[in-house]
Structure 1
Amino acid sequence: MTFYSFARFVANTALKPVYKYEVHGLEHFPKEGGVLLCSNHINNFDPPVVGITAPRPVHFMAKEELFAVPVLKDIIKACNAFPVKRGMSDREALRKGLGVLKAGEVLGLFPEGTRSKTGELGQGLAGAGFFALRSTAHVVPCAIIGPYKAFKKLKVVYGKPIDMERLRGEKASPEAATELIMAEIRKLIEEHKGVSA
């Protein structure tokens, strides 16, 4: 068993009884090839919840500050995460992310760049659009529908891959691509919020 699989098992054992998450749309998730997985961000537990529920291992971009914390940095590195500087263009993180996608693996992003304090979907940053346009990866939207409350159902919804071919052909801006991604995440939230399984 890899450390990633072990960490996923431990996190699932700890979180599932508390948040009782239900997962929808796994049939949409590509079984192979590079995947850019883009989710809204409402809680600090979002990365492990996405890591647990996604059908393939996810490489997350994580804020650089986490890698300065002893012990934690070793754990998140072993869970495929890599650092990104917030608030500026981090060329090394961009190269690393593109490398993940070109290797046919899953890159996980929270396009808002930070956790939403209100739970409402915020504006996405251009980084998500950059990866979508500069790669041939499938772009999969994900919606986490809370709130995170003990023993209340949490919903994780994976949408159909977004068709990026038109924007890639038009050489659209990263901002335009991010807007499309955020619109698809918003649709998932609106379609599934308040809908019981």
Structure 2
Amino acid sequence: GMNIQNAGFIVLAAALGIVVQRFFGWTIPQVFLALAIANVIVAIYIFTIVPEFMMRFLSWVFVRVLYRMRPHGIEQHVPDEGAALIVCNHVSYMDALILSASVPRPIRFVMYYRIFNIPVMSWIFRTAKAIPIAGAREDPELMRKAFDEIDAALAEGELVGIFPEGALTKDGQIAPFKSGVEHILERAAARGQIVPVVPMALRNMWTSMWSRRDTRLGRMRVPRRFRAPVEVIAQAPILDPAIDAATLEAKVRAMRGDAA
């Protein structure tokens, strides 16, 4: 099937090239230039219609320039469609981009509102449909809105990503998972939806750039090992709305192992 389609496109492209050369008198370089311009126009059009698609593509390119990605179990365990909640350890400022570049579906990430509101970056986060959240003591109304938006996204069959530690690790170890993940699952179950939870783990990120292992100045350096290998691991979805944060933490901790 795919081979026949590919052959058909090759024949069509060759025929188009012959027609353009014969009727317009274009040279081969001019044909390629026209195709390049057409690709740019199509890319701009796609960005205006589906901006998150372009953001995911740029994330994919950026991450693969900096790291050698080694995914494990993502195609088998991340659902191709329908709602799911991804829970993962939080090691560096690059974590969301790495997950976006590893998972073939768009992910709605839940992120701390102060980072979400950083000038310029805020536009990127909004384009990616990230969900800003605050602590109950900081801004209870924003926290309520965040959980409303998470619940609505899951009800619509979207993929939501959270880092249940609530902050970047300061020492490379996984911090206790907060109870927000339990609230998300309980709320979905209350309206009759059992949301699959996909445990994921990032390995070898602690020694990479943009973790808290380095000082702020250190984060601006070229990585000690350019294109360092990073493992992104996924396990089978858990269909248990009563699962608690501690159990999820233990699963992610076991997946991560000693390779922080």
Q: The TM-score by the shorter chain falls in which range?
A: 0.7 to 0.9
In the alignment, the residues of structure 2 paired with residue 87 and residue 150 of structure 1 have an alpha-carbon distance, to the nearest angstrom, of 40
**Which deviates the most, 181-190 or 38-47?**
181-190
Q: How does 1:44-193 map to 2 (within 5 A)?
A: 44-86=93-135, 88=137, 89=140, 90-135=143-188, 136-147=194-205, 148=208, 149-164=225-240, 167=242, 177-190=244-257, 193=259
In the alignment, the residues of structure 1 paired with residue 237 and residue 57 of structure 2 have an alpha-carbon distance, to the nearest angstrom, of 27
**Over residues 126-163 of structure 1, what are the superposed CA-to-partner deviations in whole Å (9 max), with x where a residue is unaligned?**
11111123222110011000132532210000111123
Match of 1:20 in 2: 68
Match of 1:170 in 2: none
Q: TM-score if structure 2 supplies the norm length? A: 0.66
- Would you say the 8 A contact 1:33–1:138 is kept in 2? no
Task: Measure how far apart 1:179 and its partner are.
Answer: 1.1
Q: Which runs of 5+ in 2 are unaligned?
A: 1-45, 189-193, 209-224
Structure 2 CA distance for partners of 1:32 and 1:154, relative to 1, 3 Å:
same
Q: What is the SS of the residue equivalent to 1:12?
A: helix
Query: Larger radius of gyration, structure 1 or 2?
Result: 2
Q: What is the SS of the residue equivalent to 2:101?
A: helix
Match of 2:51 in 1: 3
**Over residues 4-42 of structure 1, what are the superposed CA-to-partner deviations in whole Å (9 max), with x where a residue is unaligned?**
221222222222132111111121111222101000000
Q: Which amino acid aligns with 1:104?
A: G
**Over residues 61-114 of structure 1, what are the superposed CA-to-partner deviations in whole Å (9 max), with x where a residue is unaligned?**
111112332221111111010210135451111111111111111111000000
Question: When the two structures are aligned, how many residues end up with a matched partner?
Answer: 184
Percent of aligned pairs with the same residue? 25
Q: Which runs of 4+ in 1 moved over 4 A?
A: none
For the aligned residue pairs, the C-alpha RMSD in angstroms reads 1.9
Task: Measure how far apart 1:43 and its partner are.
Answer: 0.3
- Would you say the 8 A contact 1:38–1:139 is kept in 2? yes
Q: What is the SS of the residue equivalent to 1:154?
A: strand
Q: Which amino acid aligns with 1:143?
A: A
In the alignment, the residues of structure 1 paired with residue 63 and residue 87 of structure 2 have an alpha-carbon distance, to the nearest angstrom, of 21
Structure number with the bigger relative contact order (C-alpha 8 A, sep ≥ 6) is 1
Q: Which amino acid aligns with 2:108?
A: H
Of Structure 1 and Structure 2, the greater helix share is in 2
Q: Which amino acid aligns with 2:105?
A: R
Q: TM-score if structure 1 supplies the norm length? A: 0.86
- Would you say the 8 A contact 1:64–1:86 is kept in 2? no
In the alignment, the residues of structure 2 paired with residue 9 and residue 33 of structure 1 have an alpha-carbon distance, to the nearest angstrom, of 21
